[in-house]
Amino acid sequence: MRFVLQFPPLLAGLALACSAAAVGAQAVAPDMRSHPPADGAAPAAPPKAVVCMACHGPGGQSAQAQTPALAGQSARYLDLQLRDFQAGRRSNELMSPMAKDLTRDEMRELAAYFAAQKPMEQSFRADPEKARLGKAKSDETLCTMCHLGGFVGQNEIPRVAGQRFDYVLKQLADFKARRRTNDAGNMTAVSNTLSDADIENLAHYLAAL
Ligand code: HEC
Ligand code: HEC
């Protein structure tokens, strides 16, 4: 079930802190190259993952500007987005056709597989001043009440740490312009308070985390 969160974020954060404690921390996967791992912790690549990697990169480590990294993302968030793309609640000309024919089992398997991959070492070179302003804005807006410290994400709330710069820029602008509306209002409310400069600064901060 989708979280329906309310502003002010303090309340949402408290509610989430409780649910996060109940669910427990997301399993941290071993290195993606060792598949299947001896301890059986990380799932082997499902057949359709090859298709996904054409855009999202090997193991979900995207090297394309507006294509998000999937590696290390919360499995529940990935699964939710796949369902949203399939149902038309979120749409993108490249991604929507990819979700169209996935079964529920395939979605769950793909989500579990990409969530278990280790997030990529960051090569993005943030502008230090913009990243500093982005962090200040994040602190002021209490982003981490939902996304958790270091933007590591939880449950249906995505990891944004180390996400691709151009992708973060586009999503924040899409939420603000209500081109992306599958967020139960959480991000449209937040992004309304952000100027274009804030969005750019935040993307510098987040991409380098
Ligand atoms: C043709 C290129 C392409 C292929 C192939 C593709 N995707 Fe995507 N995917 C994208 C793009 C571009 C986006 C970003 C859409 C946007 O801007 O909203 C995206 C977004 C996503 C998201 C949302 C991530 C987030 O952080 O919100 C998920 C989950 C996803 N793709 C999973 C998959 C899976 C699983 C497959 C394989 C079945 C796949 N994709 C195949 C291009 C692709
Ligand atoms: C009230 C909780 C809440 C707050 C506060 C919040 N977020 Fe979010 N954020 C969410 C949720 C929930 C989603 C996923 C929405 C969905 O399911 O499509 C999200 C999605 C995002 C995404 C898209 C990630 C992706 O992979 O597509 C970005 C980027 C983001 N948030 C950045 C921020 C920043 C920056 C701030 C502070 C300025 C912030 N968020 C504050 C709840 C929150």
pLDDT in tens, 128-145: 999 999 999 999 999 999
Length of the chain equals 209
pLDDT the model gives residue 137: 98
Give the pLDDT mean for 58-71. Answer: 93
Cis before 8? omega within 30: yes
Residue nearest to atom 2 of ligand 1 (CA): 55
Give the binding-site residues of ligand 2, using a 6 Å CB cut-off.
5, 9, 12, 68, 80, 138, 141-143, 145-147, 156-158, 160, 163, 168, 171-172, 182-183, 186-187, 190, 202
Q: How many other CB atoms sit within 10 Å of the CB of residue 155?
A: 16
User: With b meaning 16 or more CB within 10 Å and e meaning fewer, what string describes 45-67?
Assistant: bbebbeebbebbbbbbbbeeebb
> What ligand 1 atom has the least distance to the C-alpha of 66?
12
Q: What is the rounded CA–CA span in Å between residue 165 and residue 134?
A: 13
pLDDT the model gives residue 43: 79
Which range in 4-13, 22-31, 75-84 is most confidently predicted, on average pLDDT? Answer: 75-84
